[in-house]
Amino acid sequence: MLKTALITGGTGGIGEAICRRLAAEGYTIIINYSRSHEKAEALAKELHGTALCFDVADSKKTADAIRNAGRIDLLVNNAGISEIELFTHITPEKARRIMEVNLWGTMNCSRAVLPSMISQKSGCIINISSMWGQCGASCEVDYSASKAGIIGFTKALAKEAAPSGIRVNCIAPGFIMTEMNSRFSPEDLELIREEIPLGIFGEPRHIADAAAFLASDHAEYITGQVLAVNGGMII
């Protein structure tokens, strides 16, 4: 049977790679985005999928959009934002927005897909956290807290949803070359690269491979786990 996957933030570096990989695996793809309309439409056309605009931080709009989208077998909660700023300097508005998009957005989308997954007695949710959610990052305190929250959310929801045949897992990417990291200077990038035991930056396809594995039957006995994809940066 054809399966449908909703990927939030499907227009970003990692999200696009996940969309492409899951489409290649045979999924019908729904690409969520909040601003990148043209990119979402072009990708949806190429992958014979659908583009779906909603702000994951808005619980009502998220619930309405997902209800109208029809059956969803796989949800990848990938939409995310970050800010590099001292905890004592970041405005409460920016800090709140990070939590609302990253953590609350993950919870909004999960809450919206779960009723139909529960009645189907099957489903899979993959949350994109971060290595900083595992070990914390200076100057990304709010981001780290949001990503640590995603790990706690994953573990708890995995327990609650397992009796309904739903698996919930988490990927904790390391440093992946995307727009999110474009603010680093070449000098900073070199210092970061030296900290990576495998000696290279991650690519979006590394996260897409991990997502495809967790979504597949090869992971049918895996739930509530955090899969670190970071070149050995955090062990």
Residues of this chain that interact with ligand NAP (CB under 6 A) are 8-9, 11-15, 32-36, 55-57, 78-82, 101, 128, 130, 173, 175-176, 178-181
C-beta of 16 vs 73, nearer to ligand NAP: 16
CA angle 87, 129, 192 (to 5 degrees): 65
Q: Which is nearer to ligand NAP, 118 or 180 (CB)?
A: 180
- Report the C-alpha gap between 40 and 12 in whole angstroms: 9
Q: Report the C-alpha gap between 18 and 173 in whole angstroms.
A: 13
* CA nearest neighbour of 10 among 69, 67, 60, 94: 69
Nearest-approach distance from CB 58 to ligand NAP, in angstroms = 8
Which of these is catalytic: 27, 33, 143, 221? 143
Q: Is 23 left (phi over 0), alpha (psi -120 to 50) or beta?
A: alpha
Nearest-approach distance from CB 89 to ligand NAP, in angstroms: 20
Nearer to ligand NAP, 2 or 35 (CB): 35
Closest separation in Å from C-beta 164 to ligand NAP: 26
Cβ-based nearer residue to ligand NAP, 55 or 142: 55
Q: Are 23 and 49 in contact (CB under 8 A)?
A: yes
CB 201 within 8 A of CB 104: no
**Shortest Cβ 212–ligand NAP spacing (Å):** 16
Whether 143 is a known active-site residue: answer yes
DSSP state of 89: T
Residues marked active site are found at 143
